[in-house]
């Protein structure tokens, strides 16, 4: 198995687990707000860089490693998928992940990229939190459930248009006749103007 790089000790995502002492059943709680240096989420909706992710976690020592459970909460910013105005979306993601000891049976029987490890008695929460935040975000955010979106004819936002907003829809097969009638005059046709009753 190739060597796994040790966690970045100066990262706010990296947590020291030495206080658990590898004693199964030992627990500690963790409540911190981690600032983001890069967006976390989807193209259409993400927790922006500079925002914080609030972690409310429990770390529990188990025979195979450190079990982390709790929640990650943040506010994502993006665009309504119907009308394209800016939306904010609170997101709360459930966290439950085993960080395995490198010498445990779990680590020995699992692919390296399938389970996070406890390295130098530290765990790096960033990828776990990122995965869960992305999963918890709606794929098609809306500003409100009954958003009417945009007019397909003019692109205007229905909320900003008159209630009776509409466009004349003409069968394209009649378009040429409509254009011809609009430009014809008695002089151009050589016919006298129609009299009363004609």
pTM of the shown model:
0.72
Contact 97, 71 (CB under 8 A): no
Q: What is the pLDDT of residues 163-178, one digit of tens each?
A: 676 666 666 666 666 6
Q: Is 37 helix (H, G, I), strand (E, B) or coil?
A: coil
Q: What is the pLDDT of residues 45-94, one digit of tens each?
A: 999 999 999 999 999 999 999 999 999 999 999 999 888 889 999 999 99
Burial category of 94 from C-beta neighbours within 10 Å (exposed 0-12, middle 13-18, buried 19 and up): exposed
Per-residue confidence band for 106, with pLDDT thresholds at 50, 70 and 90: confident
Name the residue ranges covered by the structural domains of the chain.
14-136
């Amino acid at each position: 198995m190739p060597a796994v790089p040790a966690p970045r000790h100066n990262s706010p995502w990296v947590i020291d687990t030495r206080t658990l002492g590898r004693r199964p059943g030992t627990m500690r709680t963790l409540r911190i707000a981690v600032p983001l240096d890069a967006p976390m989420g989807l193209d259409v909706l993400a927790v922006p860089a500079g925002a914080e992710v609030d972690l409310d976690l429990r770390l529990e020592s188990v025979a195979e490693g450190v079990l982390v459970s709790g929640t990650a909460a943040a506010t994502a910013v993006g665009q309504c998928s119907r009308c394209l105005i800016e939306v904010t979306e609170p997101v709360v993601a459930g966290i439950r992940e085993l960080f395995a000891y490198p010498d445990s049976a779990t680590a020995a029987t699992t692919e390296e990229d399938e389970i996070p490890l406890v390295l130098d008695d530290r765990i790096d929460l960033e990828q776990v939190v990122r995965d869960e935040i992305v999963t918890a975000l709606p794929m098609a955010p809306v500003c409100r459930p009954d958003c009417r979106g945009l007019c397909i004819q003019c692109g205007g936002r229905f909320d900003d248009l008159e209630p009776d907003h509409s466009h004349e829809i003409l069968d394209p097969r009649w378009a040429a006749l409509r254009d011809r009638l609009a430009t014809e005059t008695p002089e151009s046709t050589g016919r006298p103007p129609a009299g009363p009753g004609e």
